[in-house]
A and B are shown apart, each in its own frame.
Chain A
Amino acid sequence: DTAVSQTPKYLVTQMGNDKSIKCEQNLGHDTMYWYKQDSKKFLKIMFSYNNKELIINETVPNRFSPKSPDKAHLNLHINSLELGDSAVYFCASSQVAFGELFFGEGSRLTVL
């Protein structure tokens, strides 16, 4: 049973399109996150949700919008995709805010 699962694992799309990535955790954690890992392997926080409320929104373009229907789900919607959005997006969860993180398998987004 996967603890943190995200779909799709691979996404190839054209510039200007809109896409979504879904994430679900079955660990009972209160906090969920989206991280972006670029080609240089830097992991950067994008969003954090604690029990369905946004607690951090780093300086990401407003084309990115997180949505949390409940504390077990955190989805990421991206509008008007750009070439620079190509990266691996990781969903993660933790029991306490910014404690030990459990990551999903990642979603590799390629924008052509």
Chain B
Amino acid sequence: QKEVEQNSGPLSVPEGAIASLNCTYSDRVSQSFFWYRQYSGKSPELIMSIYSNGDKEDGRFTAQLNKASQYVSLLIRDSQPSDSATYLCAMNNAGNMLTFGGGTRLMVKP
């Protein structure tokens, strides 16, 4: 089992809808969780970080963390075509390494 699992997608949503991206992890001691966005041919850029259970909102983005169920999700409200990218989930594990999931490709259709 991979340490960080994401559905590779593509996840297709219409413009204006809510996109929901999910990530599960196997290491219960993970403490810090991150969402990165990567456009095709570009480098990953940090969107959100979350460290405690619950929701964290930043503009159109909401990160949700549930440590008991070992998942973290990213909601994108009012999705725009410019949100079309691959979204990478990452977390610190017991070895204090930052481990990335394989990413979910999001397509927002006008």
Q: Is A11 an interface residue (CB 8 A)?
A: no
Binary A-proximity of B79-107 (CB < 8 A = 1, otherwise 0) = 00000001010101001111110110000
Q: Which residues of B contact A102 (CB under 8 A)?
A: 46
Asked whether any CB of chain A lies closer than 8 Å to the CB of B26, the reply is: no
For chain A, the count of residues having a C-beta within 8 Å of the partner chain is 19
Q: How many Å from the CB of A69 to the closest CB on chain B?
A: 23
Q: A90-B43, A99-B32, A100-B49 are in contact. Are A56 and B97 (CB under 8 A)?
A: yes
| Beta-carbon contact of B96 and A43 below 8 Å | no
Query: Is A111's CB within 8 Å of the partner chain B?
Result: no
In the complex the two chains form, is A42's CB within 8 Å of B43's CB? no
What is the total number of residues of chain B having a CB less than 8 Å from a CB of chain A?
22
Q: Which of A78-112 touch B at CB < 8 Å?
A: 90, 97-106
Contact of A98 among B42, B44, B46, B96 (CB under 8 A): B96
CA distance A104 to B45 in the complex (A): 10
**Closest Cβ of chain A: how far from B106's Cβ, in Å?**
13
Residues from chain B with Cβ under 8 Å of A43 in the complex: 44, 88, 90, 100
Residues of A within 8 A of B36 (CB): 101
| A98/B49 in contact, CB under 8 A | no
Q: Do B102 and A103 touch (CB < 8 A)?
A: no
Q: Are B42 and A101 in contact (CB under 8 A)?
A: no
Top-8 shortest CB links A-B: A103-B43, A43-B100, A98-B98, A106-B43, A41-B103, A100-B46, A103-B44, A105-B43
- Identify 4 new A-B residue pairs, CB closer than 8 A, beyond the known A98-B32, A98-B96: A41-B38, A43-B100, A100-B46, A105-B42
